[in-house]
Structure formats: C-alpha cells, structure tokens
Structure 1
C-alpha cells in the first residue's frame, strides 16, 4: 500500500473520530443540561412544596434567609423571562443557573414567588431538609417520633431512620461535626447517595438518606451516545463503501462487456482515488488482451496466407514428380520440394518466436555479456553466408570499455542477426554495424547502401507481416516478422528499436538502444 494513500486514509479516520467525539461531547452536554435542570427541579421539589405548605416559612425557619437567601417576592418584582413566569403560574418548580449558584423558585398559594439560592444544590438541599426534619422531630415526644419520621420521609422525599446500633455510626469526624452543629452531611462508602446524621436535643441520632445525586453517565445517556456514534460510523462506512461498490460495479460491468466481445471497453475511474490503481491496472490488462487478440487474429490471417504458397508449390512438385521423364527432372522437383519444406520450417520458427515474445515474453536469463563479442560473432556468420557483401563491425576503443551489458545473449544475437541479414538482403554491396556504448546505454546501428525505406513507412516496417510495396520486400522474400521480433526483444530489454536513413551509406539505418544495466523491475 502506498504511504501517501495510507496517510490520507489514516488522516480521514482521525478526522472522523474527532468529529464523532466532538458531536458526542456536544450531545452529551446538551442532553445533560436538560437532564440536570430537570433533576434539580425534581430534587428540590419536596423541600419547596413543604415551604409552600407552611403558613409562615420565614418566621418558622428564620435561618433559611441567612443560609440560602430565602425570600418571597411578588410576581411583578421578579425579572425573569415570560416562559419562566408561565411555568411558575402553572405551579411548577423552576431552577436557573446563576453566577452564585442555582436559584430555585415556586409560586405559593398567595401568588408570591418563593425563591432560594444554593451554592451546591445537592448538599444545600440535604442540609436544609435535615434542619427542617430536626426542628420538627425535636418538637415531638419520643413515642411519636417513629410516626413523625415516616410522615416526614414521605413528604420531604428522604428516608429517616433512628440509629440504634453503634455499628451503623459513621467515623469519628462525622460524629464530632454532629456534636458541634447538630447535623453532618457524609457519604457512606458502600452507597452512592449522601446521608445526613442528625442529633436531636435529647441526644437521639437520626440518619437521613438522600436520593441519589445527578448521574451524567446514566445508562440511557451512554446508550444514546453509543447509538449516535454507531450511526455516524455506519453512515460514514456506508458512504465510503457505496463509492467503492460503485467503482467495483463499473469494473465488473466492463469485465462483462469484454467477456461479450467488446474489447474496446475501458473503466472510467472518475474522481475516486481509492480504486484508481485498480482501474488503471484493469485498463492496462484490457489493452494487453485486446492487443493479443488482435495479434492472434492477424497471425491467423497472415499464417493462412503465408502457408498457401509453399504448400501449393509442394503439391505442384509432387504432381510433377509423377510426370518426370528423367532423373534430372525428378531431382529438380525433389530439390524444389526440399526448399519449400525449408521455407515452411523457417516460417514456423518465425511465427513461434514472435508469438512467445508477443504473449508475454520469454523467460529472460539476464547476464553480463560482451555486446561487442555478440556483434562480431553475427558479422562473422553473415559474412560467411554472404561472401559477396562487405559486412564490417565498427567498434571504437572507448565503446569497448563499456561493452559488458546485462542482456539475454541468445535473443540479442537473434535481434542483431535479423537486422544484419535483412540489411545484407537489400544492400547493394556493403553493410556496416556501428556500436556505441557508454556508462548508461548501449546502441547498435546497422546501415546498408541499399534503396532505403521511405520515411512514411518507418513505423510500418515493425508491424507483424507488414509488406512494403517496393522492391525492398517484393524481390527479396521474407515473412514480415523479423523486425517485429527485433522490436519485441528490445522491449523486453527495456529499450527500443527504430529506423532512419544512413548518412554515410545512403540506405536504411536500423538502431537498437537499451540501458546497459537492467532496471530491477525489468529483470524476469
């Protein structure tokens, strides 16, 4: 996997994770702000309902004003929003966050607004409730306290129980505070809610258990966050996979079209980078298949055409043997048949070589070999075959230093042999093979003094079974595969073959150029 693609994917995952966390945090704060206000109103409701039911709470509980800024305000003097006023008119408990704590309000029977301010609503409401409970329990006789505790528990929304067992007592710090103030708020290690230990005037200890505090991580909130995070991830995954699925379906559609015979069908990757490499590889494969199918069709057509002539001559020679009247005539026909068979053998060899190169190349065993030695060997062999021509190799001392190259000797020999033999076939009398090597590249130029090749046909000559309409091909034979084989051999060496005009001899000049040291990706 490319590093750039991995980093982009990783950055997107980090960004998606950050967005999910940000969205969940905003949702968490928003939901808990509503839940928190609702909990504050429900938690303080028993205390405020008790005060509303009390005829004169300011006189009966004078400490409320100094401790919790208790007051009763006429509705017209209260500067709050219309929504809050409407809620108060319905008799609801209203809680607001202020700069000095929580403000809790409720409307009494006379239309006034009872208003208390708590720095910490949980502990302050617990202490206020405990003070009210202690005041009323002190006024009760010991025999009537059990019933009073039950009634106060139901009205104030707490749980009042007398402490009868010393094992139920909290630690010494709580007891010291109770002896000083009469009440002490503490948290039991095994419980998730606060408790208040109350000491009555006669020394009786009463334990008051408060409702559970506000829990921002209640299971409905956690479940909501998990559902939202899972939904966002599912949506992101769906959008990502939808794009991938769309591109894969496009590749599948093109594959089906190619299977049906539409060889020109190609995949359009569009703007998607996720499958662009797959689309490029698929299109490259499709082009290769299309080219191979075209080559196969061309070879079938050309081979059927090329085989007809020697087969027809063999058939004609066999017929002539039957009518031969002399040993000389019989031998002439046999020699002609033998030549035709040799021609068929050469044609089949050319076709098989071209097919191997065209359908993926041979198994190249690249090795360091002297290119100048291969050139001299080819020149020597061709000079023996064509003694009437002057075939020479031109290799200077500077190039000789760099003649060692990573090549497949057998196929390079075949490429140079095809060019030299082709040049000698068309040359008037002279063929020159010039070698030029340096640290990076190797180049071989094969020139002749023949009629040359028109410039408009320079690319056509490398096409398989190509025939030029001049004397260069029609009077010299050949099958039109030699130069195609040369080009494919150079392709598998990472180089190229091309044709031009010889400045020195005036005929054609065929050039082979390839890197002296083979790149690793071309090594087969």
Structure 2
C-alpha cells in the first residue's frame, strides 16, 4: 500500500469522522433545545395552571413575586410574540428563554396573564411547589391534612410523603437548613429533586418532583445512532461504489482485450485503491500484446526463413538423382548437410528467443567470474575466426570486482553473440573490454567494420531484423542474436546498447547490468 493512498484514506476518514461529530453536536444541541423547552413547559404546567386558577396568586402567595419574579396583568403588559399569544389563547403554558433562565406565561381564569421568571427552572419549580404545599398544609385542619395532601399531589403533579420514620429522615445538614429556612432540597438517587418542608407543628413533608430533564434520553441516543449508522452506511456505499466502478473498468478492458482489442488499457488515477491493480493489469496487457506481436512476427519470419534452406535441400535432392559422379554426389550431400545444420541452428535460435521473450527461463543466479566468461568466449572465437584479431582487455587487473550474480550460460551466450557478430562484420580487428566496479558490470565489444547507422541503432535489437537483407551461408545470421542478447540482459536487470566505436571506427555494443542483486530472483 502506497503512502500517498494511506494518507489520502486517512484524511478522508478523519474528514468523515469530523463531519459526523459536527452533525451529532448540531443535532444534539438543536433537538435538546426544543426538547428542553417542551420539557420545561410540560413540567411547569401543573404549577402554572394552579396559579392561573387562584383569584389573586400574588396576594395569596406573597413570597412568589420576590422569590420567583411573579407578575400579573393583561397581555398588553407583556411583550409577547404572535405565536406565544396564540398558544396562550389555547390555554397552553409558554416558556421563552431569557437572559437568565426562562420566563413562563399562562393565561389566568380572570383573563389576565401570569408570568414566572426562573433562573434555574427545575430547582425553582421544586422550591415553589414545596412552598405552596407547605402553605396549604399549614392552613388545612389536621383531620383534613391527608385529603389536602392527596389533592395537592394530584393537582401539582408531585408525590407528597410525610417523613415519620427515623430511616426516612434526611441528613443532619438538611435538618439544619430546615430549622433555619423551613425548606431544603434533596437530590434523589434517580437525579430528581425532592423539597423537604417543615410544617408549623414540626412535621416533615417530602415533596418529590418528577424526574429532571435528561439530554441523553433514548430518542436522542436512537437518533444519533441512526445518524452515525446512516453516515457510515453512506460512506461504505460510496467507497464500494468507487471500487466497483474501477473494477468494472478493469472488467470492461479485459472483455475488450478478449475481443481482440489488444491496445485497450485501464485508465486509473494515482493514489486510488485500484491504481496498482490497473497498473498491473496494463503491464500484463502490454506484455500480452507484445507476445502476440512477437508471435505474429515469428510466424511470419520463420515461414520466410525456412523457405531458403528447404528450397536448397529440395534442389539438392533433385541434383542427387541426376549426379553423374561420386564427386558431384558428395558435393550435393555436403550442401544438404549444411542446410540441415542451418535449420537446426535456426530452430535453436527461435526456441531460445521464444523462451526469453515469453517470460524467460528459470534463472538461477549465482556468484561467478565475469572475466573468466569473457576470456573463454574470446578464446573460442579466436579459434573460429582465424582471420580476425580479437583482443580482450580486463580493466580490473587484480580481479577485485570480477565476481557477479549471473547465469553463466546465458551471459556466455550474450557475449558470444556480440563477439561473433563483431568478428563477422569486422575488417580485421575486434576489441572486447570489461569495465567492472563495485556496482555494475559493463562489457564493450567493438569492431573496425563499417558500423551501423544511428537511425538503425534500435532496429538491430528487433527480432528477425537484418540491415543487410542478402543472406548467404558465409554471412549467416537470422536476425535473432541481438534480440536474444537484449532479453538476456533484461532478465539480469540490465540493458544492451549500440553505438559507434571511437577507437576502431566501427560498431560498439555494450552490456551493462548490476553486479549484485539485492534479492535472488527467479525470473
């Protein structure tokens, strides 16, 4: 996996995570603002309706204006929005945020409006409710106190419990507050509040409020889970769609190649998940296209190359039938033997080239001496080419860098092809030079012949390509030798070049490959 793709994928994941977090925060705050206002209106509704039913709440509950900002009056005394006014006309409790808490409105039965300004609505609701309960219980006769308690609990939406047992009594700190102010608030285990009041006779009453507002209620949690799951599903869908689209491109190109469109290629951007697949597929397609092209060229060239020796053999057989002397018979037999030898060499060249071109043989690279291989080739060629002066120069005289990772048989074949070609076209001299260092091996083969035109330097490595179309038994060559050389160097991780010899004036062929492989490759 490339670093570019990893960074790109990481950035996309971080961006999606940040987007999901931002959406969750916005949704959480937005919904809880609405839920909170609705909860406050629903929680204050029993108290506000109780106050609306009282003829003169500010006079009856004289502590309410000072403690809870109670105001009464007609609608013109309050600055209300049209929506709030309409809701109040329906008998609803309206809560509007203020600079400090909420302001609650309700229409009284006398036709005016009542408002409460609560800085901490839930806490102030518990205090106001507990004070109203204490006021009414203190005012009720002892024999009617239980009935009054039930009526208040139902009307105000609370649970009123007398604290009579020792286990029900609150902590001493709460009792101290009760003794000083007659009211204390307790936090229950479920998070709700309970107002504890002391009646005039000394009895303790607990006024338990409904549960407090929970911003993490199950509707919010469910909605956030749906949102996160939906975004993840959408992201997964888009990612799979992206991969599927690119895979369909590869599939389409594969079908086009199967129909014979060998030039079809996959177009994929760098840094994508399937870019490496596209590159590998394009490399495979190019290799297949080249193999098909080579196969066509080989079929065409082989059919052409076989005609000449086969025709000569046919002619020689016909001449044998009409031979009038043993000398003439022997001459034809020798010619036929030479043609058969030529066919055998041609088949060997074709098979070697086919093996190298279609993926190469199994190369077992081993540490061997390059200088010894070159000297062996030069010695063999001196015997074969008696009329040519073949000189060998080893620049690394002490042999420090002569060892290299090679397949000796194929390197021998490559050097032999170059030296043989140079001797064939040289006027009388061939120079073989080894340049060895700690990184690369280089072998230069130069001759003093007429050289190769620069326009044909790349053509000479093409299979079955001959610059001189006239072929005889003496000139030899099938146009495969240099192609074999280039493929041998390719499988060694190197290259073959052709140029002009500055020393001898003819052609100069060079073989260059790395002296050591980082890993032993099976090619």
TM over 0.5: yes
Equivalences for 1:258-407 in 2 at 5 Å? Answer: 258-270=257-269, 273-324=272-323, 326-396=325-395, 401-407=400-406
| Cross-structure match for 2:37 | 37
Identify if the C-alpha distance between structure 1 residues 483 and 517 changes in structure 2 by more than 3 Å, giving closer, same or farther.
Answer: same
Which deviates more from structure 2 when the two are superposed, residues 194-203 or residues 128-137? Answer: 194-203
For structure 1, the 5+ residue unaligned runs are none
Residues 473-518 of structure 1: per-residue CA shift (max 9 Å, x gap) = 8961211100100111122222222222333333322222233334
Secondary structure in structure 2 of the residue aligned to 1:480: coil
| Cross-structure match for 1:84 | 84
Secondary structure in structure 2 of the residue aligned to 1:305: helix
Equivalences for 1:176-195 in 2 at 5 Å? Answer: 176-189=176-189, 191-195=190-194
Residues 132-186 of structure 1: per-residue CA shift (max 9 Å, x gap) = 1122122222332332222212211112234454444444443443444333321
Q: TM-score, normalised by structure 2?
A: 0.92
Distance (Å, rounded) in 1 between the aligned partners of 2:451 and 2:181: 121
| Cross-structure match for 1:157 | 157
Identify if the C-alpha distance between structure 1 residues 273 and 473 changes in structure 2 by more than 3 Å, giving closer, same or farther.
Answer: farther
CA contact (8 A) 1:433 1:445 kept: yes
Distance (Å, rounded) in 2 between the aligned partners of 1:506 and 1:69: 112
CA contact (8 A) 1:73 1:115 kept: no
CA contact (8 A) 2:440 2:512 kept: yes
Identify if the C-alpha distance between structure 1 residues 347 and 470 changes in structure 2 by more than 3 Å, giving closer, same or farther.
Answer: closer
Distance (Å, rounded) in 1 between the aligned partners of 2:122 and 2:60: 23
Distance (Å, rounded) in 2 between the aligned partners of 1:290 and 1:52: 92
Which deviates more from structure 2 when the two are superposed, residues 219-228 or residues 205-214? Answer: 205-214
Which deviates more from structure 2 when the two are superposed, residues 139-148 or residues 472-481? Answer: 472-481
1:238 Cα deviation (Å)? 2.1
| Cross-structure match for 1:234 | 233
Secondary structure in structure 1 of the residue aligned to 2:206: strand
Secondary structure in structure 2 of the residue aligned to 1:425: helix
CA contact (8 A) 1:88 1:106 kept: yes
Identify if the C-alpha distance between structure 1 residues 183 and 502 changes in structure 2 by more than 3 Å, giving closer, same or farther.
Answer: closer
Which deviates more from structure 2 when the two are superposed, residues 14-23 or residues 300-309? Answer: 300-309
Q: TM-score, normalised by structure 1?
A: 0.92
Distance (Å, rounded) in 1 between the aligned partners of 2:409 and 2:468: 32
Identify if the C-alpha distance between structure 1 residues 316 and 81 changes in structure 2 by more than 3 Å, giving closer, same or farther.
Answer: same
CA contact (8 A) 1:399 1:435 kept: no
Identify if the C-alpha distance between structure 1 residues 520 and 271 changes in structure 2 by more than 3 Å, giving closer, same or farther.
Answer: closer
CA contact (8 A) 2:75 2:113 kept: yes
Which deviates more from structure 2 when the two are superposed, residues 176-185 or residues 411-420? Answer: 176-185
Secondary structure in structure 2 of the residue aligned to 1:27: helix
Which deviates more from structure 2 when the two are superposed, residues 355-364 or residues 309-318? Answer: 309-318
